[in-house]
Structure 1
Amino acid sequence: MIEHSKNHQDRLPQGEQPITEVEADRLDEDGRHAGWLVLTPNRIIFIDDEHDSGRHDDDIDHIDFQGADLTGDETVGTLAISWSDQGKVYEGSTIELRAFKAAIEDQLNP
């Protein structure tokens, strides 16, 4: 994995506070993109470390969230998140992604 930056919280939308976050790499047709998955009270955000403009970030409003599926082994997991009839796949620590998925479920189904 690529080393992640530490100033990712500066790029959250104004007024959003993180509930939890996990280092993850987004896997897509362009390859692997290092970043952070951040859960806030209103959205799930992927902050792409490779692009500071925010143009390559994912912003998933809780209203548009359709689901998250986790697969993997003891060390590397993949979390597929779908929203508004689209989706992305993120890779990271299975344990951390499992905790992140549980936090999503707790936030959306109190």
Structure 2
Amino acid sequence: MVEHAKGRPDRLPKGEQPIAEVGADRLDEDGRHAGRLVLTPKTIYFFDDEHHNGSHDDVIDHARFEGAEVTGDETVGTLALTWAGGGTVYEGDTLELEAFKAAIDDQLNP
């Protein structure tokens, strides 16, 4: 598991406030990318720690969000997020990913 940068509120668009945040690795065809998932009232973000210009970040508007599923054991888990037109898998601490998924569920299904 890769160490993740602490929260960087300067990467959030002006006016966005974080509801939940978790360190995670994005797993994709290019390999593993360390970063953090941030839930805001309007959007789910993945901020890539290695690319601070935003070109490798994920931006998932709540209107496009379709679902989330956490799987794993006591220590390492995956969070699969799906949205209209795509989906991505993130790896991290299972309990932290479950808490992040619960925050998504609370925000989108009050």
Any idea what the Cα deviations from partners look like across 1:61-103, whole Å, max 9, x if unmatched?
Answer: 0000000011100000000001112000000000000000000
**1:86 corresponds to:** 86
Q: Show the counterpart of 2:16.
A: 16
Q: Mark the runs of 5 or more structure 1 residues left unpaired by the alignment.
A: none
Offset of residue 7 of structure 1 = 5.1
Task: Indicate the residue corresponding to 1:33 in structure 2.
Answer: 33
Change (3 A) 1:104 1:7: closer
Return the alpha-carbon distance in structure 1 between the equivalents of residues 45 and 89 of structure 2: 13
Percent identity, aligned pairs only, is 71
- Is the alpha carbon distance of 1:87 and 1:74 closer, same or farther for their aligned partners in structure 2, counting shifts above 3 Å? same
Q: How many Å apart are 1:14 and its aligned residue?
A: 1.4
The yes-or-no answer on 1:101 pairing with 2:101 is yes
**Aligned positions, number:** 110
Verify the 8 A CA contact 1:8 1:47 in the aligned structure 2. no
Separation in structure 1 between the aligned mates of residue 12 and residue 58 of structure 2, nearest angstrom? 11
- Please tell me the residue identity of whatever aligns with 1:101: K
Inter-partner Cα distance in structure 2 for 1:56 and 1:79:
18
| TM-score (structure 1 length as normaliser) | 0.96
After TM superposition, the structure 1 = structure 2 runs for residues 49-88 of structure 1, keeping only pairs within 5 Å, are 49-88=49-88
Give the TM-score, by structure 2 length: 0.96
Deviations along 1:26-65, one digit per CA (max 9) or x if unpaired, are 0000000000000000010000001011110000000000
